[in-house]
């Protein structure tokens, strides 16, 4: 029995301190609310600790290792390139620690209390926060749930020392000789490519017709070409059947082209999607509406059917993206403060940190036509850009989708170096209601990759300079 569990009163309780939760907590505090954020793991959530940030660090280290081998076409050759993977992991950890420490500082600087523990809802204004030893009651006027998601575990591929989820793959203390990746989405492709850069023999098994199904085939073809250059093998329309763990590896059985195949490797990485963390919060206790997949249903202000409870990030429908969660966190916090804030996914970018990088925002040509628009799709190749050539990264293109009647920019897709950075300008163009002419008349510095945006806009206007119409 807990003695002296007097309720702590709050304006707003935030459950989860990932990129949705910590941003929501800070914005809520900025509007004058008394805020506490509860996190059962480490501040920063999956993204900062075992997701976006460490994976990008590992990808970058892989690129550095590849580049260290030199480039004969540029007259650069090297010998005896080595990698100390324990130091790679140490450096990756230092990046994570700087960011998580920074987030803690930001929360404290905005007078947000950070509490370690797990939350269980008692009613629409009350939760119990429990750790290993104690239970504390909190009452609130409003609550923002931001508990994120976890990897889906296949019944025939139970996680172990050799059967890995994304967290396990990021924590290896060795570079595997061979790795099988089940699932060719962005997580599997990114991590598979990262290890392939270090020399691992990677096999990707994808059940659909192609990897990276959310992106245009012309874009994914560039990634497949680079993966094959790294020695990776991609098997599509492949259904993983099961795994047998051996003394020092795994045997993975899969079916492809009507035949059963077996492949041996050191590890198998399973990346077949993620599921929302909504099943251990006691949400049924307060009647929060969820669909059959466990996603919480929300309105335009991220409010659930229970007027005091809001939900954001991976636990609501839509792409499981950190920047979506952060955006929704701000909307929820501002809505609680009485501001006229609503979610608008007009220009939410999607990025795959593959080689080359892929990025998409707004409509594709296909989705625009399905939505009833008459459009032009205007493409400019990286190979016609001086900066791309000087980087020896000439593969790729930028495609702008414009409305035929007035040149309004309604979408863009980029495949090439720094696509993740370049896409923001196109997102701004969509949000601001800009036309191809607006982009074309914006003077871009030379020589830069950013000029490709200007050049594609000129293609849309019918007057390109650096390619022949």
CA distance 392 to 410: 31
pLDDT of residue 255: 97
Mean pLDDT score of the chain: 97
Residue 393, pLDDT > 90, answer yes
Q: What's the pLDDT band for 254 if we cut at 50, 70, 90?
A: very high
Cα distance between residue 420 and residue 274, in whole Å: 23
Share of the chain above pLDDT 70, in %: 99
Average the pLDDT over 264-268 and give the result.
98
Does the pLDDT value for residue 454 go beyond 50? yes
Q: What is the pLDDT of residues 217-229, one digit of tens each?
A: 999 999 999 999 9
Query: What's the pLDDT score for residue 402?
Result: 98
Query: For position 53, what pLDDT does the model report?
Result: 97
Whole-angstrom Cα distance, residue 57 to residue 63?
Answer: 10
Cite the annotated binding site for FAD by residue number. 56, 147-149, 314
Do 356-461 and 8-150+275-336 fall under one CATH topology?
Answer: no
- Residue among 231, 233, 190 at smallest CA distance from 356: 190
pLDDT in tens, 58-68: 999 999 999 99
Instruction: Answer yes or no: 69 catalytic.
Output: no
pLDDT digits (tens, 9 = 90+) for 204-215: 999 999 999 999
Task: Show binding-site residues.
Answer: 56, 147-149, 183-190, 206, 273, 314
pTM for the whole thing? 0.96
Q: Based on the number of CB atoms within 10 Å of its own CB, is 232 exposed (0-12), middle (13-18) or buried (19 or more)? A: buried
Residue ranges covered by each domain of the chain: 8-150+275-336, 163-272, 356-461
Q: Report angle CA 24, 106, 20 to the nearest 5 degrees.
A: 25
For range 287-293, the mean pLDDT? 97
For the segment 62-98, what is each residue's pLDDT rounded down to a tens digit?
A: 999 999 999 999 999 999 999 999 999 999 999 999 9
CATH architecture of residue range(s) 8-150+275-336: 3-Layer(bba) Sandwich (3.50)
Q: What is the mean pLDDT of residues 380-407?
A: 98
Is residue 247 pLDDT above 90, yes or no? no
Identify the pLDDT of residue 469. Answer: 82
- HEC readout, the chain: CCCCCCCEEEEEEEECCCCCHHHHHHHHHHCCCCEEEEECCCCCHHHHHHCHHHHHHHHHHHHHHHHHCEEHHHCEECCCCCCCHHHHHHHHHHHHHHHHHHHHHHHHHCCCEEEECEEEEEECCEEEEECCCCEEEEEEEEEEECCCEEECCECCECCCCCEECHHHHHCCCCCCCEEEEECCCHHHHHHHHHHHHCCCEEEEEECCCCCCCCCCHHHHHHHHHHHHHCCCEEEECEEEEEEEEECCEEEEEEEECCEEEEEEECEEEECCCEEECCCCCCHHHHCCCECCCCCECCCCCCECCCCCEEECHHHECCCCCHHHHHHHHHHHHHHHCCCCCCCCCCCCCEEECCCCCEEEEECCHHHHHHCCCCEEEEEEEHHHCHHHHHCCCCCCEEEEEEECCCCEEEEEEEECCCHHHHHHHHHHHHHCCCEHHHHHCCCCCCCCCCHHHHHHHHHHHCCCCCCCC
pLDDT at 42: 95
Q: Tell me the CATH architecture of domain 163-272.
A: 3-Layer(bba) Sandwich (3.50)
CA distance 63 to 226: 12
Q: Other CB atoms closer than 10 Å to residue 76's CB: what's the count?
A: 11
Share of the chain above pLDDT 90, in %: 98
Phi then psi dihedrals of residue 3, to 5 deg: -100, 135
388 band by pLDDT with thresholds 50, 70 and 90 = very high
Confidence band (pLDDT; 50, 70, 90) for 4? low
- pLDDT at residue number 1: 42
User: Within 13 Å and on the Cβ side, how many CA atoms surround 106?
Assistant: 19
- Asked if residue 109 has a cis previous peptide bond (ω within 30° of 0), the answer is no
| Whether the predicted pLDDT of 2 surpasses 60 | no
Q: Does domain 356-461 have CATH number 3.40.718.10?
A: no
Region of 139 please: left (phi>0), alpha (psi -120 to 50) or beta.
beta
Confidence of residue 430 (pLDDT cuts 50, 70, 90): very high
Catalytic residue from among 67, 323, 446, 466: 446
* CA distance linking residue 16 with residue 3, whole number of Å: 26
Give the number of other CB atoms < 10 A from CB of residue 163. Answer: 22
Q: Which residues are annotated as a binding site for NAD(+)?
A: 183-190, 206, 273
The 10s digit of each residue's pLDDT in 135-164 is: 999 999 999 999 999 999 999 999 999 999
């Amino acid at each position: 029995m807990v003695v002296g569990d007097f309720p702590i009163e709050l304006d707003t309780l935030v459950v989860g301190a990932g990129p949705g939760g910590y941003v929501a907590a800070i914005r809520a505090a900025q509007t004058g609310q008394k805020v506490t954020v509860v996190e059962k793991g480490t501040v920063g959530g999956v993204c900062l600790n075992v997701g976006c940030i460490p994976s990008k660090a590992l990808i970058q280290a892989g690129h550095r290792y590849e580049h260290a081998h030199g480039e004969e076409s540029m007259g650069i050759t090297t010998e005896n390139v080595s990698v100390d993977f324990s130091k790679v992991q140490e450096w990756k950890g230092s990046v994570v620690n700087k960011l998580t420490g920074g987030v803690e500082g930001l929360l404290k600087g905005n007078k947000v209390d950070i509490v370690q523990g797990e939350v269980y809802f008692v009613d629409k204004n009350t939760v119990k926060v429990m750790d290993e030893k104690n239970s504390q009651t909190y009452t609130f006027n409003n609550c923002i749930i931001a508990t994120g998601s976890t990897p889906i575990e296949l019944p025939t591929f139970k996680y172990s020392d050799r059967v890995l989820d994304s967290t396990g793959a990021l924590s290896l203390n060795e570079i595997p000789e061979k790795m099988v990746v089940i699932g060719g989405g962005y997580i599997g492709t990114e991590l598979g490519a990262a290890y392939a850069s270090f020399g691992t023999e990677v096999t990707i098994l994808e059940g659909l017709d192609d990897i990276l199904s959310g992106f245009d085939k012309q874009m994914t073809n560039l990634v497949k070409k680079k993966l094959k250059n790294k020695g990776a093998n991609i098997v599509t329309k492949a259904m993983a059947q099961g795994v047998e763990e051996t003394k020092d590896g795994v045997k993975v059985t899969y079916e492809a082209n009507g035949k059963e195949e077996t492949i041996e490797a050191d590890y198998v990485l399973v990346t077949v999607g993620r599921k929302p963390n909504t099943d251990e919060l006691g949400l049924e206790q307060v009647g929060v509406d969820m669909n059959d997949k466990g996603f919480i249903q929300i309105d335009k202000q991220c409010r659930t059917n229970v007027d005091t409870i809001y939900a954001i990030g991976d636990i609501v429908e839509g792409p499981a993206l950190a920047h979506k969660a952060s955006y929704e966190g701000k909307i929820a916090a501002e809505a609680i403060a009485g501001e006229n804030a609503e979610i608008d996914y007009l220009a939410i970018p999607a990025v795959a940190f593959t080689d080359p990088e892929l990025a998409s925002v707004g409509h594709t040509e296909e989705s625009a036509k399905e939505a009833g628009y008459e459009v032009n799709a205007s493409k400019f190749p990286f190979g016609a850009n001086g900066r791309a050539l000087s980087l020896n990264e000439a593969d790729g293109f930028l495609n702008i989708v414009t409305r035929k009647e007035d040149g309004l920019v309604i979408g863009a897709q980029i495949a090439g170096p720094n696509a993740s950075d370049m896409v923001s300008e196109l997102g701004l163009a969509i949000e601001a209601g800009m036309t191809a002419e607006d982009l074309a008349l914006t003077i871009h510095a030379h020589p830069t990759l950013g000029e490709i945006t200007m050049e594609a806009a000129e293609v849309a206007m019918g007057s390109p300079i650096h390619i022949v119409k």
